[in-house]
Structure 1
Amino acid sequence: MNVLTFNAGSSSLKVGIYSVDGERARPLFARTLSMEPTAAGATAAVNATLDNELPSEIAFDAVGHRMVFGGPEDAPALASPELFARLARFERLDPLHAPAALAALRTTHERLAHLPNVLCFDTAFFRDLPERARILPIENPDPNFLRRYGFHGLSYDYVRATLGGRLGSRAILAHLGSGASLAALKDGKPIESTMGFSPLGGILMATRPGDLDPGILLYLLEDRQQSPAHLRELLEERSGLRAISGGERDLRRLLERADDPRAILAVDAFCTSVVKAVGALAALLGGLDTVVFTGGVGEHLAPIRSSIVGRLALFGMKLDEKANAVHADVISAPTSAVTVRVVTTDENATIARATSALVHATAERMR
């Protein structure tokens, strides 16, 4: 089966066509288009793709999309009026991602109505988290919905499928990009994630703060009279690296500003937040066999990986600087007690596999 995939991000639309055979998804076509992170921007980018970008010689049998958050019902789902109605509420809860993702799905559902259109959720990878990793320590009127979920699951699923047994029994996966998180896997199953109810929490990110003392938000609401809308903008667009550095969110550019104290501080704060997360997750795992870097920062910024690994020597972790400089698959030294890897993630491949599996399962049920 050939699957057309769409992954609407914060500034781009990643498009791919994959030939899927069971658990294998072979890329046939890939394109990345610039996109405004709005419903209108996603609609325009998808229409441009369908009109001008796809190769005419490659046919496809189904369409798959990424959705960051869909609440507790996060198994891959076929597009339908009921699905759109259920997910409409999340456009307000996740304005960074949901409006664009739903607009992209609506567009292909209308224009490619003769094909199955499938939505795949980032949170599904963490569906079986232990209860202690799911609960929130507050009086909770709706614990099934208001809980910790975990994100970047499509990326983590790809890494797990790619490495298989090479992950070892105790692994930490670090998806480091504009959005960033870490996940702990025990025998291949996730037991903890740094992100919780939303993609705002966890480690420091490009424009998001990561974990933040709730008292700060109460102070801004009550003493500074800031509105919820202003707080949302602050947390989604004006925090993290951008706030610490004085306006720059891109770690590449921050690394270039070697004489700028605020840039140095921002890079140090980011690496420190990752190191703290690795330490906490390693304690839960009872040790470490493997650390995997992925995502735009994790895959491409050797100085960031070097800074992080260098601070984790207490685990017996040692970096091969030459391997790290060329982004080798394995960047740990032969004498390292922990294997450190770099994996180029492909969320669209995970979408393609999940879409194919659902379409085949649906066809089997209808026989």
Structure 2
Amino acid sequence: MTAPYAPEEREKVVAKLPASLRQELKVRAAELGVDIKDAVTEGVHAWRADSAPRPTVDTSGASSFSTYLPAGLYGELKSDCKKRGVPFNQGIAQSIRLWLDTHRSPRRVPRTTGARRLVIGNQKGGVGKTAIAAGVAQSLAELGHRVCLIDFDPQGHLTVQLGNQMFGIEDPSLAKHMLGEAKGELRELLVPIEEGVFGGRLFLLPACKDAFLLDAKLATTRHVRVKETALEKALEQLEQDFDFIVVDCPPSLGYSMDTALYYSRTREGEEPGTSGVYVPVLAEDSSADAYDMLSDQIQDLIDDLDVEVALLGFVVNMYDGRKGYIATSSLNSWKEIGDPPVVAVIPELKEQREAVRLKQPLLYYAPESEQSEAMREIARRIVV
């Protein structure tokens, strides 16, 4: 389907593409300062020049996408697709995928001190730590970074919500590696998240059922001299494989939380604010009480171990201004703190709950939703 576009001697081309691929193209083109039509044009030329079979792009859930190609290129692409036995929509999708794969995100992070470590924590449950950890990790992967998402909560909500099984009590696990009780390498436990644009860049370390015992065992273990270093020692082997490690923490102030806070500290030679803690909160008073307890725990760790732990920001989650004064005044109170700042306000909408029910990543299930855009805003702040 074409229509002349005389001003640039181009013609309009309409195809069907999945929302995740359109979004990745939009983000990458913006990062590189390239017009989308020029990116697609380069991809089509590259696809036509390389006759080798290319991997099929998943176009399930595709919707309308339009761009402008130089006059005549549409016909040439259509002819090539016919010769190769490839549907036109698949040809366009493969062309865009080829361009994305050969034009990497410029926002690669020098890993002179290992992966950047982002801890998502709050003593209060039900504030959306899991949703925010998952959404931020997905957004960073969408930007082209390699991301490891750690389910450090023994309840295992993150693991289950992404359609995976928790490790059994007798299985190797992160907890066992922290305690020196596991054989093999930790990277062998990673599960790839393949949906949408995440293939090859986003990995999950599932939760384990024995993690409920971790606090008690950390109190007596002799595997590490300083118990707060247990998580860092276990994850050390993964750091050079990833740009970011995102840790979804339990709603706890115990030893395991101490290990996560220590892991997020600013390391020697690391720029301040590179790694640290994001605190999900709700626009209501109990979140403020829980934050006070977390803040005290962080300060105690700083004082006891002489380290620096950066509070990177609040994420006000499940916000609904229609709830009136309680919600709006509480949001203002979070903003008035100033340091750390409010880095995002995520609305109370149905897409996140639907994604959880379907056991799909939010940015795959609803890539154009307000919640997905809020997650991307956090990721953009992180990589700038």
TM exceeding 0.5: no
Name the structure where helix makes up a greater proportion of residues: 2
Greater relative contact order, per chain length (Cα 8 Å cut-off, separation 6+): 2
Q: TM-score, normalised by structure 1?
A: 0.29
